[in-house]
Amino acid sequence: MNLDQYPKKEFFEVPEHYFDELPNKVLNAIHQEKKYVLRKRLWMISSSVAAAMIVLLGVSFFLTNPNNDDNISLEVEKVEVDSLPSAVELAKSEDVSFPDMVDEESSSVKQERGTTSMSTPVEKIVKPSTEEPDFCNLDMQIIEYYSEDIVSNEYNELK
């Protein structure tokens, strides 16, 4: 059987006036689409502005806050510099057996080297120790290194 024998008719029907109304339906849908796009753009702009504001507020808070890291580090540096002269006073106020310490240092170095000669202050400082470092005494050693004579005089005066 040949298909050409049959009349070619449109099988699909549409409601009455469908094609008269379709353009308006489509244009309404397009208007909704435009509104949606506009709302989406506005939302994106407002959220970007809000994000920028939050960043600006965060940065300005960080810069204006006196307790930020830069100020802290400056204070730490200041404390370190200021604390240097007070170490002498600290040594005065505490009961530090300075000559004993020097003697202990000298004898231990002597034992290690097996010599009886006087070791230099540098050798005393770099001596390896298994004990936990005593920073108060370390200060004293530094002071001794740089101003052994002065400290000895001060000690003698105190004595």
Partner 1 sequence: MMVESDEKILSLFKEEKTKEKAFKLLIDKYQRDIYYAVRRIVYLHDDANDVTQNVFIKIWRHLDGFRGDSSLKTWLVRICVNESLSFIEKKKKLLNLYDDSYTSYMLKTVKEEQYFSPDKIQHLIQEAIIQLPEKQRIVFSMRYYDETPYEEMAQILNTSVGALKASYHFAVQKVEAFLSKNSEL
Contacting positions for partner 1 (CB under 8 A): 1-3, 6-15, 19, 22-23, 25-27, 29-30, 33
145-149 long-range Cβ contacts below 8 angstroms, 24+ apart: 145/121, 148/121
Q: Could you tell me the smallest distance in angstroms from the CB atom of residue 28 to partner 1?
A: 9
CB atoms near residue 91 (< 10 Å): 20
Q: Which is nearer to partner 1, 32 or 60 (CB)?
A: 32
Q: Could you tell me the smallest distance in angstroms from the CB atom of residue 26 to partner 1?
A: 4
CA–CA separation, 155 vs 147, rounded Å? Answer: 12
User: Whose structure tokens read 């830069």?
Assistant: 70
Three-class SS state of 119: coil
Q: Could you tell me the smallest distance in angstroms from the CB atom of residue 38 to partner 1?
A: 14
Q: Which is nearer to partner 1, 31 or 113 (CB)?
A: 31
Which phi and psi (to 5°) does residue 18 adopt? -60, -45
Q: Which is nearer to partner 1, 7 or 85 (CB)?
A: 7
Task: Read off the amino acid at residue 156.
Answer: N
Q: Which is nearer to partner 1, 10 or 70 (CB)?
A: 10
Q: Could you tell me the smallest distance in angstroms from the CB atom of residue 10 to partner 1?
A: 7
